[in-house]
């Protein structure tokens, strides 16, 4: 079985039941419509508060898109990129790609135009599907990317001149399955990640990986057909989609919520009767702050059916979970560890029965093996610190078009994660540090070299290093240690203004004016910087600056 067959099975079993709901809490139009009603509306539907789609319509939409791609010559092994914000169109397009045997290539919606072009070229993409929010970015590169590529606009309003319009293209396509034979060994999807250099790597997964993600999530969190999953993170990321896969496997409803305010989350849980919610640490922190300040009152909402809160994407403070359980003592809790190279979360997880082990990332997930090794590749003694390695059906096939990078992290089927960990006497794994210098802030990866390169263009800066420092809400924040040129002066406000050209999530939250230490080979001594500016040392350094 492949995941396209799961969709078709859900169509057969639950065709008239709601599969997906899209909620837009900041939209001015409070109407609630089905997709069929939405299709008949005038071209101003982006203001609608709530849209929904049944399993039957979702499968039919996927079939229409698959048949469109096939009619345009797309075949097994070709690549179709998806650049959309979370919306009802996202998943039918994704499954439509898979039904052709082509490879789905989700793109980060934060990518700049240059990054979009880089990823399209790296993955050798044949088709780009994009939405309203990306017209400007795609237009900037349209002349260079349109050669031998089909550009499809799947947003509201007028279609840009350099693209073709998704609704018009699919309207007359067959809603029947194209019947392309697929196997678990066939390539299925490319997700993007990056090393500390910040240059994205194209991570190739086959259909077995996707199917295993479904089984892992359902095995860990025991979804039934009656569960309702609230999905807040972006669908381009493996975390959101692979957690949803557990509900998908049993035909359970999912809700796509656009917005992360605590009141939005509670309202969605209440109105849609959500039973499972996956959060990032900052969102959970915001909810607790709103509860503790009295801004949010649980009694105003119907929350009694909410049974599971789980968190991933970054280390979770133990105090957060203890506070959460004070407000919601009946909630099950789980934390999930994973990488895009291991088809997202679940290769290690705490387990809902192990709340007493909060602080650990957990034990090997369903169908996964784990080991911790030293620099020579040998297992470390119990309690020793080493690199965490995982093995299972969800490990990537390779980094697409990058044999050297693949060889560096895949050893006899084992994936070297780059994370340092240790295992306690009960077999629970704790993260200790990261080999890489990637900063995880609010669940998003920040790449220091990218920020350093940007800051180096400032005329007053001689040298710069960007490191991650602990933060109670975001897990980490980016701190820039800046060494000025002789005779130059600069303020934090000037640096903040200069960084307005960066995406908000990449801007340093902390700026320290000091010497940047380098070792004899010219490398920045980042461990030394983290030691120098951690905790109270940071306050002292900022006062001096």
Task: Write down all domains in the chain, each with its CATH number in brackets.
Answer: 3-12+50-224 (3.40.50.12780), 308-434 (2.30.38.10), 439-544 (3.30.300.30)
> pLDDT digit string (tens) for 510-536?
999 999 887 644 467 888 898 898 765
Does residue 83 have a pLDDT over 70? yes
Nearest CA among 360, 364, 469, 353 for reference residue 422: 360
Q: What is the residue whose two structure tokens read 């990032």? A: 280
Residue 241 and residue 502: Cα distance in Å, rounded? Answer: 27
Q: What is the number of other CB atoms lying within 10 angstroms of the CB of residue 496?
A: 13
Residue 510 and residue 508: Cα distance in Å, rounded? Answer: 5
> pLDDT digit string (tens) for 376-390?
999 999 998 889 999
Helix (H) or strand (E) holding 153: strand 150-153
Does residue 201 have a pLDDT over 80? yes
Query: Please, are residues 346 and 220 in contact by the beta-carbon 8 Å criterion?
Result: yes
Query: Please, are residues 406 and 398 in contact by the beta-carbon 8 Å criterion?
Result: yes
Using alpha carbons only, give the angle 245, 246, 250 rounded to the nearest 5 degrees. 105
Helix (H) or strand (E) holding 292: helix 281-293
Q: String of b and e for 46-74 (b: at least 16 CB within 10 Å)?
A: eebbbbbbbbbbbbbbbbbbbbbbbeeeb
* Measured torsion, CA atoms of residues 415, 419, 421, 427, in degrees rounded to the nearest 10: -40
542: confidence class by pLDDT, cuts 50, 70, 90: low
Query: Please, are residues 266 and 299 in contact by the beta-carbon 8 Å criterion?
Result: no
Could you tell me the two tokens for 310?
A: 């789980």
Query: Please, are residues 154 and 107 in contact by the beta-carbon 8 Å criterion?
Result: no
Q: What is the pLDDT of residue 193?
A: 80
Q: What is the pLDDT of residue 520?
A: 46
Residue 128 and residue 134: Cα distance in Å, rounded? Answer: 11
Q: What is the pLDDT of residue 2?
A: 96
> pLDDT digit string (tens) for 265-291?
999 999 999 999 999 877 888 899 899
User: Among 435-449, 466-480, 491-505, which stretch is predicted with the lowest mean pLDDT?
Assistant: 435-449
Residue 60 and residue 66: Cα distance in Å, rounded? Answer: 10
> pLDDT digit string (tens) for 188-200?
999 998 543 457 8
Q: Report how far apart the first and last C-alpha atoms of the chain are (Å, whole number).
A: 61
In the DSSP assignment, the letter for residue 222 is -
Using alpha carbons only, give the angle 514, 517, 518 rounded to the nearest 5 degrees. 150
Residue 197 and residue 447: Cα distance in Å, rounded? Answer: 7
Residue 440 and residue 432: Cα distance in Å, rounded? Answer: 14
Using alpha carbons only, give the angle 269, 273, 274 rounded to the nearest 5 degrees. 55
* Measured torsion, CA atoms of residues 472, 474, 475, 478, in degrees rounded to the nearest 10: -110
Could you tell me the two tokens for 8?
A: 């078709």
Could you tell me the two tokens for 209?
A: 């990986």
160: confidence class by pLDDT, cuts 50, 70, 90: very high
> pLDDT digit string (tens) for 102-129?
999 999 998 889 999 999 999 999 999 9
Nearest CA among 345, 177, 340 for reference residue 245: 345
> pLDDT digit string (tens) for 37-75?
666 555 444 568 899 999 999 999 999 999 999 999 999
State residue 311 phi and psi, 5-degree precision. Answer: -130, 145
Residues in the chain: 545
Using alpha carbons only, give the angle 199, 202, 208 rounded to the nearest 5 degrees. 155
Q: How many Cα atoms occupy the beta-carbon half-sphere of 544 within 13 Å?
A: 11
Could you tell me the two tokens for 483?
A: 């060494």
In the DSSP assignment, the letter for residue 137 is H
Residue 251 and residue 224: Cα distance in Å, rounded? Answer: 8
Q: String of b and e for 121-144 (b: at least 16 CB within 10 Å)?
A: ebbebbbbbbbbebbebbeebbee
Strand, helix or coil at 412?
coil
CA 266 remoteness from chain centre: 22
CA distances from 249 to 4, 233, 496 (A): 11, 19, 46
State residue 198 phi and psi, 5-degree precision. Answer: 85, -5
């Amino acid at each position: 079985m492949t995941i396209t067959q799961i969709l078709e099975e859900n169509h057969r079993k639950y065709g008239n039941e709601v599969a997906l709901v899209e909620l837009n809490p900041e939209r001015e139009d409070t109407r609630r419509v089905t997709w069929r009603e939405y299709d008949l509306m005038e071209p101003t539907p982006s203001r609608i508060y709530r849209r929904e789609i049944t399993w039957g319509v979702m499968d039919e939409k996927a079939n229409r898109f698959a048949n469109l791609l096939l009619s345009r010559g797309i075949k097994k092994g070709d690549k179709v990129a998806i650049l959309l914000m979370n919306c009802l169109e996202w998943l039918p397009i994704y499954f439509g790609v898979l039904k052709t045997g082509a490879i789905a290539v989700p793109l980060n919606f934060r990518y700049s135009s240059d990054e979009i072009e880089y990823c399209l070229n790296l993955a050798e993409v044949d088709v780009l599907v994009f939405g309203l929010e990306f017209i400007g970015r795609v237009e900037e590169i349209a002349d260079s990317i349109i050669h031998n590529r089909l550009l499809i606009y799947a947003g509201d309003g007028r279609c840009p001149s350099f693209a073709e319009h998704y609704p018009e293209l699919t309207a007359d396509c067959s809603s029947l399955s194209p019947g392309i034979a697929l196997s678990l060994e066939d390539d299925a999807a490319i997700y993007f990640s990056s090393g500390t250099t910040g240059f994205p790597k194209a991570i190739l997964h086959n259909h077995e990986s996707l199917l295993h993600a479904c089984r892992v999530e359902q095995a860990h969190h025991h979804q039934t057909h009656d569960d309702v999953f609230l999905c807040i993170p972006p669908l381009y990321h493996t975390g959101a989609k692979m957690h949803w896969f557990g509900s998908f496997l049993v035909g359970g409803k999912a809700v796509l919520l656009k917005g992360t305010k605590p009141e939005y989350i509670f309202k969605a849980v209440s109105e849609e009767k959500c039973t499972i919610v996956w959060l990032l640490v900052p969102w959970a922190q915001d909810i607790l702050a709103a509860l503790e300040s009295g801004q949010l009152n649980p009694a105003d909402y119907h929350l009694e059916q909410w049974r599971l809160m789980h968190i991933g994407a970054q280390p979770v403070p133990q105090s957060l979970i203890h506070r959460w359980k004070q407000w919601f003592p009946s909630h099950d809790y789980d934390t999930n560890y994973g990488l895009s190279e291991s088809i997202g979360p679940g290769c290690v997880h705490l387990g809902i029965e192990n709340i007493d082990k909060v602080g650990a990332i957990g034990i090997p997930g369903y169908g996964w093996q784990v080991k911790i090794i030293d620099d020579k590749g040998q297992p470390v003694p119990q309690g020793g610190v080493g690199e965490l390695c995982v093995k299972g059906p969800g490990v990537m096939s390779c980094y697409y078009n990058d044999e050297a990078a693949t060889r560096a992290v895949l050893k006899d089927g084992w994936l070297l994660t780059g994370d340092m960990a240790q295992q306690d006497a009960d077999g629970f794994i704790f993260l200790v540090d990261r080999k890489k210098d990637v900063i995880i802030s609010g669940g998003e990866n920040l790449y220091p070299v990218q920020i350093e390169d940007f800051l180096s263009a400032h005329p007053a800066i001689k040298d710069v290093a960007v490191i991650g420092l602990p933060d109670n809400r975001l897990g980490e924040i980016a701190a820039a240690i800046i060494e000025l040129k002789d005779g130059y002066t600069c303020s934090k406000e000037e640096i903040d203004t200069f960084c307005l050209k960066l995406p908000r999530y990449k801007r340093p939250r902390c700026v320290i004016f000091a010497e940047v230490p380098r070792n004899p080979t010219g490398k920045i001594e980042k461990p030394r910087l983290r030691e120098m500016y951690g905790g109270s040392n940071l306050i002292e350094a900022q006062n001096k600056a």
